[in-house]
Amino acid sequence: MMKLAKIFHCKGFHVTFVNTEYNHRRLWLRGREPRSVVYVNYGSITTMSGQELVEFAWGLANCGYDFLWIVRNDLVKGDTAVLPPEFLEPTKGRCLLASWCEQEAVLRHEAVGAFLTHCGWNSMMEGLSAGVPMLCWPFFAEQETNSRYACVEWGIGMEVGDDVHREVVEARIREVMGGEGVGKEMRRKAAEWSEIAVRATTQPGGRSLANLESLFKDVLLTATKIVG
């Protein structure tokens, strides 16, 4: 976009960029070191208590890492999501709060080093493809199963636990982001799974592409039989 703007400018045109909330988030991430930001998003349905919100907030504040936190207005059950005023000062300059983001683009940004998630399937697949290790806090339905796969089967996740405590949140983040034991192994496995996902979805003969082609063939065959 910037290159295009320069071309137009050389021809005598003036180009104005709209500073949208999305552009602001992109610029904020661009100024961070690789793998230095914790991305937090509980999806569009998950709710929590006001106390759980506070515990997550202080866990993030005390971890020492920058973080991008998606906070919906209806995130807290029966109330508006409001963070304690004293939370703002210690996180000034290293925290960005927003109500929405283009999640896949955020997860693929080199600055993002961990993903605190509710373990919805779309979020799991986007995090897996991006090679970002996860902090898992499942809410309901299949999210518990997804969390188990991430933490036990795939080795790329770590559970926060049902009873949220700021000390646990802080410790989990520190381990995933910079730990030399479990965290280091999680980061290695996350990178491996990302490579597997790329091969499956983009390369000829990849499993996802093969399944998609098989689906198309089945649909076309069924349609041919109906028409015939």
Taking only the tens place, the pLDDT of each residue in 51-96 is 999 999 999 999 999 999 999 999 999 999 989 899 989 999 999 9
CA angle 197, 169, 43 (to 5 degrees): 50
For 48, the 3-state DSSP assignment is strand
**Of the candidate ranges 32-36, 119-123, 129-133, 218-222, the one whose mean pLDDT is the lowest:** 218-222
Delineate the domains of the chain, giving CATH numbers in brackets: 32-227 (3.40.50.2000)
Quote the percentage of the chain above a pLDDT of 70.
89
Band of pLDDT at residue 144, cut at 50, 70 and 90: very high
Residue 144 CB partners (closer than 8 Å, separation 6+): 119, 138
Amino acid of residue 5 = A
pLDDT score of 23: 65
pTM for the complete prediction?
0.84
Q: What per-residue confidence (pLDDT) applies to 22?
A: 57
